[in-house]
Amino acid sequence: MIRVSYILWLAFFMALIIALFQVKYTVQQVGERRDATIQQIDETKERVRKLQLEWEQLNQPLRLTKLSKDFLIDFQEGVAGSIAPVEQIPVRPDNLRPVAFLTIEEPEQAFTAEALNSPDNLHDVGSLRPIHAPDLLNALISQQNTVVLSE
Amino acid sequence: MTAYTPDPSTHVLGANLGQSQEQIRPGNPAKATRHARAISSFRLWLLGVVFFGLFAWIGVKIVHLAVIAEARGPLKVIEYVLDGPADEHRRSRVEDRVGRILADNVYRKAAYANPSKIQDLDSTLAGLAEIFPDMNISELASRLSDRNRSFVYVRRGLTPQQEQAVWNLGEPGLNFLSEQHRVYPKGNLTSHVVGYNDIDTAGLAGVEAYFDKSLQQGVAPLQLSIDVGIQHVVAEELAATINHFEAPAGAAILLDANTSEVLSLVSLPDFDPYNPASQSQAQLRNRATYETYELGSVFKVFTLAAALESGAVQLDEEIDVTGPLQISRFKIKDFHPHNGKMDIKTIMSESSNIGAAKMALRVGNRAQKRFLNSLGLLTPSEIEVQEVSTPRYPGNWKKTQTVTISYGHGVSTSPLQVANAFAAVVNGGVYRPATLVKRDPSAPLNDGERVISERTSAMVRDVLDYVVKEGTGGNADAEGYRVGGKTGTADKPSRGAYNEDARIATFLGAFPIDDPKYVLLVMVDEPIPQEGTFGFATGGWVAAPAFKRIVERTAPMLGLEKVVPAEGESD
């Protein structure tokens, strides 16, 4: 009876020791991962901070003023009358209301998923066609209601 | 020889357990054995219990950490890293009122040398000379030759390319350390507000110096009341005016009329915050908060307010402004002389010194001083920058001083204080000290100190409206907005007298004048008359047009709607 209890105790203590070691090393590993993560977070935060500062530097009012003068044709500052209550803004007449600002040609045939993924078909698929920014800009300037994107 | 016989009385077990001689008599061996077994069994159980208790405690602790504490949330250190500042030693960021960064710290590498460990001094110096062409190599050589030194800065604030190049030299005596570096993304634009730091990021000027301690603690960002967009417009217009009138300096301040938050504070010339040591004194001088000026006729607004509030003058009465007015040995004259009586509105719109003097004389010197003091014009401003000075005023405040102060000569204050006092006069009569710190818009506005009644404030606004519509402030009449204000042209004191060739031209106004939201002061130091101004360099010709342009450009940014003129009223 005594021997059985000894064996049980021994087994219990062995299991406890093994568990303790496992816990210890797991904790160490978790600690190392935590340290690495903290370092990564700090580095990322530092990079974000530098990027924010670069962004602020790029957005200096003087620089933006120069850029807007050089590249935004007819772009003007707000003047008296630019700010008004919503109810004072007149409703756009129906004949001036844009039907669709942007239309994209429908593909001539249905494509399978496999075909959609094929690089050869990309240029034929309307939804995947790259939008050509100058077309949009021209449409804005000429106040066209519909933009048809060219190939 | 005597055989050894153990003395039962000295048996360790028995002695320790305090057993009696009789219990362990050698004559009863079976009983002794049973007794010994019982004792060892007891000890084993005792050890077992102790060990079990210890392991159980460890087990409970593990379960607690793994399950219960985990369920409560992340460990404190993780929480700190994710939500708190990455580095508690990093100086706090300074932001404008919408969160644009005005100053922040980043880590940059500094290269240093340990002269005792340098292997090849000549090739190291040659390499450094190539990487840093502007470096004084002979001076560095003398420092690196001193083998007793263990630390010599080679260059601080390295770019990543420079750091890599130094690293590539492969010199074991060269090393790097990370240092904080203060960055001012808006540069000169906010230099007089934000200030600057020394190379160890200790604040030396502006809010950087004023809030140095709290910024060093690296707590939440310091959010200022300044709006960079507004600041740019104000600075641009002030610079244009200064250039046009060939003036050496100027200042402009835009205040929230009710909260006294400073939305823009410009002092020109400004300076490069990265390199303050190389800037001139003229650039470093803050003309909005530190320099004090006698701003001339804009003080008549305070004279009028004091006279109306005390009942010394009624708005509808007329005062004889026939000049000159003899006070002691001084003769007071008007820029636009008039013989006979003049009503209060015309006294202000024509900026009559004699009219203002007579109003002040009715108020009396004591009441005048008390009133100006209540407006914060006789004590240093509480604005949160390092550069604040004490106003200067006569120690002996008598009749003559009362008269000169009534039209802005004799009390020398900073432009910010004058704008702050003006805000109190036009906002309904409550004085709140100007601040550069953004207030919480959801928090109730502090009571401030009532300096005049709402009725008096309304009367003053009415008069200021008239000054712009019909008087010297006509050039400040902004398109689409109702403004009111007062011009000021003051000869600068020089060697105990006033120099008629060196003037301060000011316009101080509020918009919209019927319910003031903002107060704007434009001041130009020593403008030179130009062709387009018919030889004048007065506040009305110099500062008022700048005021008008600033209002027209900033009012839409501030969300102010265009005023539609009432019927029969000209736009």
- Best of A79, A86, A87, A88 to disrupt the B interface (most B CBs within 10 Å) is A79
Best CA proximity match to B435, nearest among B450, B453, B419, B451 = B419
Residue B435 scores a pLDDT above 50: yes
Reduce the DSSP state of residue A74 to 3 states and report it.
coil
User: Per-domain residue ranges for chain A?
Assistant: 2-69, 92-151
Q: Mean pLDDT across the stretch B98-113?
A: 92
User: Once rounded to an integer, what is the mean pLDDT over residues A107-119?
Assistant: 50
Please state whether the peptide bond connecting residue B493 to the residue before it is cis, i.e. omega within 30 degrees of 0: no
What mean pLDDT do residues B159-165 have?
92
Q: Cβ atoms within 10 A of the Cβ of B351, count?
A: 28
- Reported as a single tens digit per residue, the pLDDT across B30-62 is 888 888 899 999 999 999 999 999 989 988 887
pLDDT score recorded for residue B568: 52
Q: Which fold has domain B94-224?
A: Penicillin-binding protein 2a (Domain 2) (3.90.1310)
Q: What is the pLDDT of residues B259-291, one digit of tens each?
A: 999 999 999 999 999 999 999 999 999 999 999
- Choosing from B92, B191, B264, B297, which is the catalytic residue? B297
User: What CA–CA distance (Å, rounded) separates B461 from B512?
Assistant: 10
Mean pLDDT of B377-395: 95
User: Is residue A111 within 8 Å of residue A128, measured between CB atoms?
Assistant: no
Segment among B20-24, B325-329, B413-417, B543-547 with least mean pLDDT: B20-24
**Amino acid B86: pLDDT:** 47
- The mean per-residue pLDDT over the stretch B216-221 comes to 86
Mutate to test the interface with B, among A53, A58, A69 (most CBs of B within 10 A): A53
State both tokens at A2. Answer: 């005594």
* Mean pLDDT on B74-91: 54
In sequence order, what are the residues at sequence separation of 6 or more whose Cβ sits closer than 8 angstroms to the Cβ of residue B381?
B289, B388, B414, B416, B417, B420, B433, B434
Other Cβ atoms closer than 10 A to A107: 16
In this predicted structure, the answer to whether residue B496 has a pLDDT above a threshold of 90 is: no
Q: What is the pLDDT of residue B169?
A: 94
According to the model, what pLDDT value does residue B254 have?
Answer: 98
B62 in contact with A at a CB cutoff of 8 Å?
A: yes
- Please state, in angstroms and rounded to a whole number, the distance separating the CA atoms of residues B379 and B387: 14
Confidence of residue B70 (pLDDT cuts 50, 70, 90): low
How far is the C-alpha of B90 from the C-alpha of A50, rounded, in Å? 14
**What three-state secondary structure class fits B355?**
helix
Searching chain A, which residue's CA lies closest to the CA of residue B560? Answer: A83
pLDDT in tens, B298-353: 999 999 999 999 999 999 999 999 978 888 888 888 888 888 999 999 999 999 99
B232 lies within 8 A of chain A by CB: yes
Residue B42 contacts A where some CB pair is shorter than 8 Å: no
Nearest CA in chain B to A15: B55
What is the reported pLDDT for B180?
86
Using a pLDDT cut of 90, give the percent of chain A over it: 27
Alpha-carbon distance B436 to B225, whole Å? 5
* CA B363 from centroid of its chain's CA atoms: 37
Summarize pLDDT for B445-464 with one digit per residue, the tens.
988 999 999 999 999 999 99
Sign of the alpha-carbon torsion through B303, B306, B310, B316: positive
Distances (CA, A) of B305 to B57, B166, B419: 79, 68, 15
Read off the tokens for B334.
């008007």
Contact B300, B407 (CB under 8 A): yes
Residues of A in contact with B48 (CB under 8 A): 9
| CATH 3.90.1310.10 residue spans of chain B | 94-224
pLDDT, residue B421, reads 97
Say if residue B522 is exposed, middle or buried (CB neighbours under 10 Å; 0-12, 13-18, 19+).
buried
Q: Do A61 and B101 touch (CB under 8 A)?
A: no
pLDDT value, residue A139:
55
As a whole number of angstroms, the distance between CA A19 and CA A84 comes to 72
Distance, CA of B38 to CA of B51 (rounded, Å): 20
Instruction: Tell me which residues of chain A have a C-beta less than 8 Å from any C-beta of chain B.
Output: 9, 13, 16, 20, 23, 34, 38, 41-42, 45-46, 49-50, 52-53, 56-57, 59-62, 65, 77-85
pLDDT, residue B25, reads: 55
Asked if A49 lies within 8 A of B55 by C-beta distance, the reply is: no
- Is 80 exceeded by the pLDDT of residue B495? no
Angle (deg, nearest 10), helices B121-131 and B137-144? 150
**Cα A103 to Cα B496: distance, rounded to the nearest angstrom:** 78
B425: exposed, middle or buried (Cβ count in 10 Å: 0-12, 13-18, 19+) = buried
Mean pLDDT calculated for residue range B152-175: 92
| Distance (Å, whole) CA B561 – CA B62 | 66
- Chain B contact probe: residue of A1, A34, A49 with most B CBs at under 10 A: A49
B156 touches A: beta carbon within 8 Å: no
For residues B155 and B435, give the distance between their C-alpha atoms in angstroms, rounded to a whole number: 39
Q: CA Rg, chain B, in Å?
A: 39
pLDDT grade for A1, boundaries at 50, 70 and 90: low
What does the pLDDT average to over B431-450? 94
Active site residue B297: yes
Nearest to B431, CA basis, from B450, B413, B415? B450
C-beta atoms of A59 and B48 within 8 A: no
Topology (CATH) of B232-557: Beta-lactamase (3.40.710)
Answer yes or no: is the ipTM higher than 0.85. no
pLDDT of residue B504: 94
Q: What is the mean pLDDT of residues B240-255?
A: 97
Of the listed ranges A88-92, A97-101, B274-278, B445-449, the least confidently predicted one is A97-101
Q: Do B48 and A61 count as a contact with CB atoms less than 8 A apart?
A: no
Residue B570 pLDDT level (bands cut at 50, 70, 90): very low
User: Which chain A residue has its CA at the smallest distance from B80's CA?
Assistant: A38
Mean pLDDT of chain B: 88
Which residues belong to CATH 3.40.710.10 in chain B? 232-557
Backbone angles phi, psi at A10, to 5 degrees: -60, -45
- Note the pLDDT of residue B563: 80
Between B415-426 and B454-470, two packed helices, what is the crossing angle to 10 degrees?
Answer: 110
pLDDT at position B558 is: 93
Query: What pLDDT does A127 receive?
Result: 42
Would you state the pLDDT for residue A10?
A: 92
